[in-house]
Amino acid sequence: EDKVVQSPLSLVVHEGDTVTLNCSYEVTNFRSLLWYKQEKKAPTFLFMLTSSGIEKKSGRLSSILDKKELFSILNITATQTGDSAIYLCAVEVGWWTGANNLFFGTGTRLTVIP
Amino acid sequence: EPEVTQTPSHQVTQMGQEVILRCVPISNHLYFYWYRQILGQKVEFLVSFYNNEISEKSEIFDDQFSVERPDGSNFTLKIRSTKLEDSAMYFCASRDLAGGQYFGPGTRLTVT
């Protein structure tokens, strides 16, 4: 059975702290791993990772994938209250580069205190 | 920036009624999806759609569900006879050839 596990389930930090969110997976037919930020409603796309060891960065956020150990981390440096959200890890599974579906973890709820 | 749009934002219906949830994917995207999220639970895949046909569907997507792309822009999810357990947030998503899936704002369906 395909499985995506995120840790921790929740995290409370102070503004300015650095956080690391974890995602491990066990799936068949791995295509890519994606990170999303979910505030009130829709998941907002952050990163898509397909290759091991290549860091993707966007401002204070960065992410890396390890396909050998089957995990990814999402780092947020100098956290701000606007970073408070649920961060979702999703693994794209499928047989071909087409309409492959995403298998989601339960998310990490991050709360940043001023 | 182009975005996926969904209507309505909230739909309340009685058990047994049919509902149609509407989505307009990003215009140059080729692959379309429906997901749902029951309150407090994880996002679950329902169905994917490509080249005017279903590519894959989950166990949740039974005979009560159907999808359609009636024209060049809209993508709809129909639930024929709603049940209480269909109450959830329904997300439409789309992607192009190489990129990630982009989600719409969702439709909250409440079945009473």
Contact predicate A54/A63, CB 8 Å: no
Q: How large is the average pLDDT for residues A12-21?
A: 98
Q: How far is B88 from chain A (nearest CA, A)?
A: 12
CATH of the domain at A108: 2.60.40.10
Q: Give strand pairing partners of A109.
A: A10, A86
Q: What pLDDT shows up at residue B2?
A: 82
Q: What pLDDT shows up at residue A97?
A: 61
Q: Collect all residues from A whose CB is shorter than 8 A from any CB in B.
A: 32, 34, 36, 41-45, 47-48, 88, 90, 94, 97-107
Which domains, from first to last, does chain B contain? 15-96 (2.60.40.10)
* pLDDT tens track for B26-76: 998 999 999 999 998 999 999 999 988 999 999 999 999 999 998 878 999
Name the token pair of A68: 């050998």
Q: What pLDDT shows up at residue B96?
A: 83
Q: Cβ of A42 and B35 within 8 Å?
A: no
Residue numbers of the domain that contains A12:
3-113
Q: Answer whether residue A103 shows pLDDT above 70.
A: yes
Chain B residue numbers with beta carbons less than 8 Å from the beta carbon of A94 are: 56
Contact predicate A57/A73, CB 8 Å: no
Of A42, A45, A94, the CB nearest to B100: A45
Q: How many other CB atoms are found less than 10 A from the CB of residue B59?
A: 8
Q: Which residues contact A54 (CB under 8 A, 6 or more apart)?
A: A64, A65
CA gap A95, B101 in Å, rounded: 17
Q: What pLDDT shows up at residue A96?
A: 65
- In the three-class reduction of DSSP (H, G, I as helix; E, B as strand; rest coil), residue A4 is classed as strand
Q: Which of B29, B42, B54 to mutate to test the interface with A (most CBs of A within 10 A)?
A: B42
Q: How large is the average pLDDT for residues A29-50?
A: 92
Up-side HSE of residue B72: CA atoms within 13 Å toward CB?
Answer: 2
Of A44, A48, A102, the CB nearest to B45: A102
Q: Per-residue confidence at A111, pLDDT binned at 50, 70, 90?
A: very high
CA gap B42, A59 in Å, rounded: 27
Is the minimum CB–CB distance between B5 and chain A shorter than 8 Å? Answer: no
Q: Cβ of A101 and B102 within 8 Å?
A: no
Q: How large is the average pLDDT for residues A38-65?
A: 92
Q: How large a percentage of chain B has pLDDT more than 90?
A: 83
CA gap A103, B15 in Å, rounded: 29
